Structure 1
Amino acid sequence: MLNLSVDAFSKMKKLRLLRVLCLLNCDDLKYFSNELRLLDLTGYPLKSLPSKFQPGNLVVLLLPYSRIEQLWKGNRPLYKLKIIKLKGSQNLIKTPDFTTAPYLEVLIMEGCTRLVDVHPSLGVLKRLQLLNLRDCKSLRSLPTKIGMESLETLILSGCSNLASFPEIDGKMEHLKSLDRSGCYKVEYLPENLHQAQFLEELDLSKTAIKEPPSFISQLKNLKVLSFDGCKGPYKLKRNLLSLFKVSQRGRMNSIAPMLPSLSGLTSLTKLKLRACNLGEGDIPSAISCLYSLTRLDLSVNNFNRIPASLTGLSKLEDLSLSSCGLCNMGEGDIPSDISGLSSLKVLDLNGNNFTSIAASLARLSNLQYLGVCNCRELESLPVLLARKTSEWKHNWSYFIAINNYRLAENMSAITLLKRHIKAFENSRKRFDVVIPGNEIPEWFSQQRGGSVIEIPLPLNIQNDNQWIGVAFCCIFGGDDGSELKVIGGPT
């Protein structure tokens, strides 16, 4: 804590850089040098900057987590100012007039929860590259038009009271990222956003948009697209196919049964359609044309089994089908060409209702993580990880099965562990298995308890060909505050 008097800086007439890296305690400050180029005061405790401060030479203003309500009253010359960061300043109720700050490049007001609107001059900042208004929950309006020609990143996520998105005046050719997730009241995007040719990330999660904007297919550089939990899910489901189009003689028509393509989305690497009320038949085979796709999130939808249309995604590395109501994962339910997902490393099946998993899932030759947490109906499991050592192309694999109590009742966790140890006995690979159980192996040679566990390892561990690894059995305490107890020993 730094205790400052009212005139603490009054004699520092030529001060150009002021950075305080601790908490401030003061009732008032009357003076800051007008020569300041950088002012960095985290947790600034006052409602405004000194009234006599003239920030004409200021280049960087950093007042995160401050108690400031407004920077100053009236207009101030800000012709050298490039960066303003007011993140977490929850008392901020008014922004300055940006007319005198034409060279501003970065404006961060994330978490300014009392801010209701911004000065209209914000919309004409030609040099602005980053505008971050994340979690400005009271924000109701932006300028009706924005002409921020240099803008690269626009973050409006969590602006839950924002009523509308401004019209775009110009092309905004440099825009790369637009995040509108959590803007529950905003229903539309301006159609001329298609002119943002270099847009790479578009997040429309948890908005009131009822169908994918028609211009999305024209965004040839789009890499990340999210419709996570959009309102009006029935409309979104019905119009999802509008994303999948074919080009015929220069015209764009609805998806056709032959030669479907996703022209314009070939750069897409991440697609989120979480909680959009989709069923298995709503994922068209044309999705295979997204040949750059590496991550696909279809969680919290309605699938009985893994959609067969996904198997054409040969570059897909991460697939989430958690909480989808999957109930069919036996032989015959797994797509026959599941091996087409040849790059898949992560398969998230958490929170589903299937009772068993077919051994044919082992054809996913690069799978490193299988998540079946909270699959409370799961009763049996094949030894998915027990393959020939030569087939493994990675050094670390996971199997996580937290809260799978029926599996623990029907298949001993120790039996499962022993099978994996045997499968890897010559490979020196690392693998993690997490599964509930009710017994401690008899062959655990070391037993310890407490907050710090030390287990002695063989001195010749590097040269001992008989050494496989270490197995741990963890016993977690209950809600009574009891400590975690770990029992472990060398295999």
Structure 2
Amino acid sequence: MLSEIHPSLLVHKKITYLNMESCASLITLPNQIHMESLEELSLSFCYKLEKFPEIIGSMDCLYSLYLDSTVIKVLPISIELLSGLEYFSLKYCENLVSLPVTINGLKSLQLFILSGCSKLNNLPETLGQLEKLDELDLSGTAIRQSMASISLMKNLTELDFSGCKVHSKVQLPTLSGFYGSLTRLNLVDCNMEEGDIPNDFFDSFSSLTWLGLSKNNFVSLPGSINHLSKLEFLLLDGCKRLRSLPELPSNVISIYVDDCVALETTSNALRLCYSTLSEFSCLNCLKLICCNNLASSMPKEFLKAMAKPKERLRFEPINQFGMVIPGGEIPEWFQHQSETSSIKIERPLDSCDNKMVGYAVCCVFYVHESQCIALLRISCRVTSIVFANEPAIYFEDNCRKTMSDHLWLFYISAKELNQDFIELSFAQNYPGLELKKCGIHPVYKKELKELKPRAKKSSSSSFWNSYELDEDFLGSTADVDYDGVEDEDESYFSADDELPKPKRLRSS
């Protein structure tokens, strides 16, 4: 096993690539390094390596440096000589306590990863002089205080503070200088409580498209989140004290509020984003589903929105929709239902005035408590054909347990299932997932206008049974506008329409 190297190696003039990963017995390196042609150097997983050598002379060619999982405490002042460095990774350097002030010499640095440096509690002000820095990962560090240097990084697009909660909660940095640059902000698991997010905090993020606020302790969000006009992905899962959502921006694609067990109301949170929303997941949000406003407004608004293709800020138009909600019964308006995890139907025939445009699909599932670490997955497979994008849902965070049965409902375009017989089977990759029932329902263009809410005795297991569709209404999410057919009458989806109020879920 390699325990040392000859000093001549680190002054070689022609070597362009040097990989010494996983040299577990390597404790020290020669005191100096000067490799004029070196482009990439990796010392990752040298678990006993305590010191990086002094840099002598120019090493402009070096563009990537990996020091992950070493026991380096400090970097040499001469690090500034790596003026061509673009990628610098120090992941899980758990003994690293500080960065040198000469870090500003890394003029070409674009990606700086410090995740898991659990003893690093401050950054030098000179870090703000790295004008080309595009992504800064501070997840799992001990950094908690506001840093004016971050606001000086005019080109920074991704900032990750997730898991920065050592000793005390994170104090959000002053970010007003970002203006339109930041697109991704990760504040997951930062021990933030009510009032820790200032009311005007989101006012400066004109380009933010991804926002992670999961696993925090606040009760509400500031209304300024609605100013994030380009926001597409919002993660709030695991915010166990969150009670309500403010109105959300109109371009949101995905919303996750799984395990927000105190969430009672969305107010008008989803009102503006119905036309773009394609993913909504609320595992274990029993209080939310019991609320009249969600049960009465979400189905009709989604049905209206799914009748038209979505226009994304950064993606091609799509016509997909998926939702996970508490519920133990297949909605009664599903024409074909099975008490197993698979179902087969004959493809319905189109008529001259009534074209089938897709299928509504659903299954009922339950996640048992388990100790597994692997990622759990439920997928919907179609026999005899290859699915371009196989519908699937995932269960992360050590396989969270569901507190009741849940319903996964989504839409598949008829263009993807163009065959005489349609056979769907739901499968899971772990026995902790139990698949109980499934259903499929043809979606026709003509019947999209036939939604007729009427009073009906609701089931205690699913809020979808709190309203009923006309017997001719056969779907929820058709891609009718793709062939030029416009929705002639949207009045039946008026926001002022009232659907019957559901009964509350029966407590177990």
- If the TM-score is normalised by the length of the shorter chain, which range does it land in? 0.5 to 0.7
* Kept in 2: contact 1:200–1:224 (CA 8 A): yes
Q: 1:404 to 1:170 in 2, by over 3 A?
A: closer
Matched, 1:370 2:255: yes
Distance 1:181 1:217 in 2: 20
Matched, 1:129 2:129: no
Distance 2:260 2:354 in 1: 39
Q: How far is 1:408 from its partner? A: 4.3
C-alpha distance after superposition, 1:414-453 (max 9, x if no partner) = 8677335432353153221112223332222223466765
C-alpha distance after superposition, 1:223-274 (max 9, x if no partner) = 112222323x4xx41xx24326xxxxxxxxxxxxxxxxx44x1111011222
Q: How far is 1:346 from its partner? A: 1.0
Q: 1:383 to 1:126 in 2, by over 3 A?
A: same
Q: 1:465 to 1:183 in 2, by over 3 A?
A: same
Tell me the residue number matched to 2:176.
287
Tell me the residue number matched to 1:210.
121
* Of 127, 133, 157, the match for 1:269: 157
Tell me the residue number matched to 1:313.
205
Letter of the structure 2 residue corresponding to residue 361 of structure 1? E
TM-score (norm 1): 0.64
> SS at 1:194's partner residue?
helix
C-alpha distance after superposition, 1:293-345 (max 9, x if no partner) = 1011122221425532222211011111111212124xxxx32x443211111
Q: How far is 1:185 from its partner? A: 0.9
Any residues of structure 2 matched to 1:467-482 within 5 Å, and which?
467=357, 469-476=359-366, 478=368
Q: How far is 1:149 from its partner? A: 3.2
> SS at 1:339's partner residue?
helix
Tell me the residue number matched to 1:43.
none
* Of 218, 222, 231, the match for 1:326: 218
* Of 237, 247, 263, the match for 1:361: 247
Q: 1:454 to 1:154 in 2, by over 3 A?
A: farther
Any residues of structure 2 matched to 1:161-310 within 5 Å, and which?
161-168=71-78, 171-207=81-117, 208-231=119-142, 233=143, 236-237=144-145, 240-243=146-149, 262-263=151-152, 265-277=153-165, 282-284=172-174, 286-301=175-190, 302-304=192-194, 306-307=197-198, 308-310=200-202
Please say which structure displays the higher CA radius of gyration.
1
* Kept in 2: contact 1:383–1:420 (CA 8 A): no
> SS at 2:81's partner residue?
coil
* Kept in 1: contact 2:12–2:34 (CA 8 A): no
Q: 1:102 to 1:464 in 2, by over 3 A?
A: farther
Q: 1:272 to 1:447 in 2, by over 3 A?
A: same
Q: How far is 1:374 from its partner? A: 1.6
* Kept in 2: contact 1:168–1:190 (CA 8 A): no
Q: Which moved more, 1:177-186 or 1:129-138?
A: 129-138
Distance 1:485 1:462 in 2: 37
Q: 1:225 to 1:453 in 2, by over 3 A?
A: same
* Kept in 2: contact 1:146–1:166 (CA 8 A): no
Tell me the residue number matched to 1:404.
285
> SS at 1:434's partner residue?
strand
Matched, 1:484 2:435: yes
Tell me the residue number matched to 1:348.
235
Q: 1:219 to 1:138 in 2, by over 3 A?
A: same
TM-score (norm 2): 0.62
Unaligned runs of 5+ in 2: 310-318, 371-430, 442-474, 476-508
Q: 1:327 to 1:388 in 2, by over 3 A?
A: closer
Distance 1:150 1:297 in 2: 32
Tell me the residue number matched to 1:81.
none
Q: 1:137 to 1:436 in 2, by over 3 A?
A: farther
Q: 1:123 to 1:456 in 2, by over 3 A?
A: farther
Tell me the residue number matched to 1:251.
none
* Of 143, 152, 161, the match for 2:63: 152
Q: 1:462 to 1:145 in 2, by over 3 A?
A: farther
Distance 2:240 2:231 in 1: 22
CA RMSD of aligned residues (A): 3.5
* Kept in 2: contact 1:386–1:424 (CA 8 A): no
Tell me the residue number matched to 2:27.
117
* Kept in 2: contact 1:146–1:167 (CA 8 A): no
Matched, 1:418 2:299: yes
Aligned length: 364
> SS at 2:33's partner residue?
helix
Letter of the structure 1 residue corresponding to residue 15 of structure 2? L
Q: 1:469 to 1:482 in 2, by over 3 A?
A: closer
Distance 1:280 1:162 in 2: 25
Q: How far is 1:482 from its partner? A: 7.4
- Greater RCO structure (CA 8 Å; 6+ sep): 2
> SS at 2:247's partner residue?
helix
Q: 1:410 to 1:221 in 2, by over 3 A?
A: same
* Kept in 1: contact 2:360–2:440 (CA 8 A): yes
Distance 1:352 1:146 in 2: 50
Q: How far is 1:483 from its partner? A: 5.4
* Of 443, 448, 456, the match for 2:333: 443
Q: 1:128 to 1:273 in 2, by over 3 A?
A: same
Tell me the residue number matched to 2:381.
none
Distance 2:305 2:220 in 1: 30
Distance 1:457 1:416 in 2: 31
Q: How far is 1:455 from its partner? A: 4.9
Q: How far is 1:143 from its partner? A: 2.2
C-alpha distance after superposition, 1:109-148 (max 9, x if no partner) = 44x1624235428822221111223333333333244654
Unaligned runs of 5+ in 1: 1-68, 71-92, 245-261
> SS at 1:184's partner residue?
coil
Q: How far is 1:200 from its partner? A: 1.1
Distance 2:15 2:353 in 1: 62
Q: How far is 1:354 from its partner? A: 4.1
Q: How far is 1:380 from its partner? A: 3.3
